[in-house]
Amino acid sequence: DSGVTQTPKHLITATGQRVTLRCSPRSGDLSVYWYQQSLDQGLQFLIQYYNGEERAKGNILERFSAQQFPDLHSELNLSSLELGDSALYFCASSAGLVKGEQFFGPGTRLTVL
């Protein structure tokens, strides 16, 4: 158990819909990262938040957005969903902004039908 929790574990929805994925970091960790793993792909960095502020963006689609709340949990919002958005979405947390091991949650499997 990494100490990072993600909900829901599975999500099945239709094209055009909007979903919210939730992540609670390890106690004391200030950084939250979101990664996407599509079929046969490695993990692709989406976005990083540190202590409530956005710090880095990867190839995140404009239809996707995220935020980190004062209690440090984070949400990833995916809207106008397309079939190609079906993937595993992982959240990771670390203590610092740059350094420090990243601990991953179990992931949310999103299926868009």
Partner 1 sequence: DQQVKQNSPSLSVQEGRISILNCDYTNSMFDYFLWYKKYPAEGPTFLISISSIKDKNEDGRFTVFLNKSAKHLSLHIVPSQPGDSAVYFCAARGDGSSNTGKLIFGQGTTLQVKP
Interacting residues toward partner 1 by CB under 8 A = 2, 4, 31, 33, 35, 40-45, 48, 55-56, 58, 90, 92, 94, 96-107
Q: Under a CB-based contact definition with an 8 Å cutoff, are residues 76 and 89 in contact?
A: yes
Closest to partner 1 by CB, 14 vs 59, is 59
Contact 85, 78 (CB under 8 A): yes
Nearest CB to partner 1, comparing residues 33 and 64 = 33
Question: Minimum Å distance from CB 31 to partner 1?
Answer: 6
What radius of gyration, in Å, describes the C-alpha atoms of the chain? 13
In the complex, minimum distance from the CB of residue 27 to partner 1, in angstroms, rounded to a whole number: 17
> What span, in angstroms and rounded, lies between the C-alpha atoms of 112 and 25?
26
User: Is there a contact between 46 and 76 (Cβ–Cβ < 8 Å)?
Assistant: yes
CB nearer partner 1, residue 72 or residue 92: 92
CA pair distance 11, 69, nearest whole angstrom: 22
CB of 88 to partner 1, least distance (A): 9
* Cβ-based nearer residue to partner 1, 62 or 101: 101
